[in-house]
Amino acid sequence: MTALPAPFEATLAAFAPRPADPAQARAPWLAARRADALAAFRAAGIPTHENEEWRFTRVDPIARATYTPAPGAVADGAAVRAVEEASLGLAGGPHLVFLNGRWSKDLSVTTGLPAGVHLSGLREALASGGPLLEAHLGRQIEIQEHPFAALNSALWEDGACLHLAAGTHVPDPIRIVFLTTPGAGAMTSPRVLVIAEAGAQATVVECYGPLAEEAGGADGNGYFTNAVTEVALGEGAIVDHVKLQLESDGAFHLAATAARLAKDSRYTSRSISAGGAIVRNDLIAVLGGEGAECSLDGLFLATGAQHVDNHTTIDHAKPHGTSRETYKGILGGRARGVFDGKIIVRADAQKTDSRQVNRNLLLSDAALINTKPQLEINADDVKCAHAATIGRLDEASLFYLRSRGLGYGHARALLIEAFAGEVVGRITLDSLRLRIGRMVHALAVSEAAGGIGEAA
């Protein structure tokens, strides 16, 4: 067992009292899983730079802080506006809203769904669907390999549960929004479980943001979001999953997403990360059935002193699997970025076709990216490739645009937007794609303004 820093021991003590919950009382297996998860977290401890998987991401500010449960929040007009901001313009349709880790029924809409589709808070789902949750909750992710996922498994208070019965199809995107009050030194442990049975189809948009402007800073006075999302796909199921991470500048956001694919299923992930002081996204896709397909796209934007780390694993466990991965980073100021992408091809996974690309654009001399694409191939009849690049804006392209009458800032912004366009263009929701495009444009204009002096 690894000793935890004294401030974090105080955090665990603050979360220890757990009042009786009638919903959990109907799921006796949950208490055992919580205890196992806490034991796994204590055994692993908080990762340090000596851990290879955390070599470039220091979580010392998290370890040194003492966090408390988030206070209650009111579903008022400010909360409605925060939901809209975190959802980047998506409106209407079924959605769940969580304020400071607790489900807000007043701001949520769960009606109008097709027969066989159930959307609710996770605690409520425990009361009615215990056996189904017992089979899937905590079964998609290996907590021994992900200490903060273990911490979430021990402490989560509420979350989202989406169950798609076999053959069901939800035409509208389903939004799941988590909002946290900044500056209160609070920790929340959002949990999402998506169960898509055979042939089911849905689009899920998972959003994270603040309830108000940041009151603290990146010194430990902000809030800490420690999230886990699990996606279980049955045979032939299709899930399109979009994650929007737009936390406050002083927030810490650590998240793990684990998807397990059955035969002929298809999982698509679009990850957009633009907020937070220290951000870590772990994404694990296990292609556990023959003919499964996954597509992982990511775009991370970082300025100032932000640190954004993306760790991905695509595990081809069965034959005839296909995976495509494209992650792009745009970093300005003194930002730091990490991309660690691993493709594993098991011995039984013949006829695997997998490609991975990571491209990074540095907008300042002080920005830095560490990239580590990896292939682990244990089969001989496969097609696998990976590539990684780090570079700056092409001076020849800038000169060409300026020679056609564009100002330096406009030309620079245009090239930044074009770089992001490959990932942004793959988002199928029109309003969301346009809002993300505007977000990239705002960053491009800001960074271009900062670079005008360099070009003078």
Among 115, 234, 155, 136, smallest CA distance to 193 is for: 136
| % of residues, the chain, pLDDT over 90 | 81
**Domain map (residue ranges) of the chain:** 6-287, 395-456
Q: Is the pLDDT of residue 402 over 90?
A: yes
pLDDT in tens, 354-367: 999 999 999 999 99
pLDDT in tens, 19-57: 656 666 678 889 899 999 999 999 999 999 889 999 999
Q: Are 150 and 58 in contact (CB under 8 A)?
A: no
Q: Are 354 and 317 in contact (CB under 8 A)?
A: no
| % of residues, the chain, pLDDT over 70 | 94
Q: Are 248 and 221 in contact (CB under 8 A)?
A: no
Length of the chain: 456
Instruction: Tell me the HSE value of 92 on the side-chain side, using a 13 A CA sphere.
Output: 4
pLDDT in tens, 328-355: 999 999 999 999 999 999 999 999 999 9
pLDDT in tens, 69-103: 998 888 889 999 999 999 998 988 999 999 999 99
Mean pLDDT of the chain: 92
- How many angstroms separate the CA atoms of 226 and 70, rounded? 13
Write out the two tokens for 374. Answer: 């990896």
- How many angstroms separate the CA atoms of 227 and 253, rounded? 8
Residues 6+ apart with CB under 8 A from 130: 26, 27
Write out the two tokens for 454. Answer: 């360099």
DSSP state of 169: B
Alpha helices in 215-267 (DSSP H): none
- How many angstroms separate the CA atoms of 40 and 154, rounded? 9
The full DSSP string for 394-431 is -HHHHHHHHHTT--HHHHHHHHHHHHHHHHHTT---HH
Amino acid at 229: T
Q: Tell me the mean pLDDT in the region 7-12.
A: 92
Across 2-11, 267-276, 426-435, least confident range: 2-11
pLDDT band per the 50, 70, 90 thresholds, residue 128: confident
Q: Are 302 and 369 in contact (CB under 8 A)?
A: no
| Angle CA 259–262–268, to nearest 5 | 45
pLDDT in tens, 216-231: 444 445 899 999 999 9
Q: Is the pLDDT of residue 456 over 70?
A: no
Q: Look up tokens 């169950």; give the residue.
A: 163
Among 229, 193, 318, 228, smallest CA distance to 265 is for: 318
Please count the other Cβ atoms lying within 10 Å of the Cβ belonging to residue 14: 13
- How many angstroms separate the CA atoms of 452 and 455, rounded? 5
Q: Is the pLDDT of residue 284 over 70?
A: yes
Q: Is the pLDDT of residue 426 over 50?
A: yes
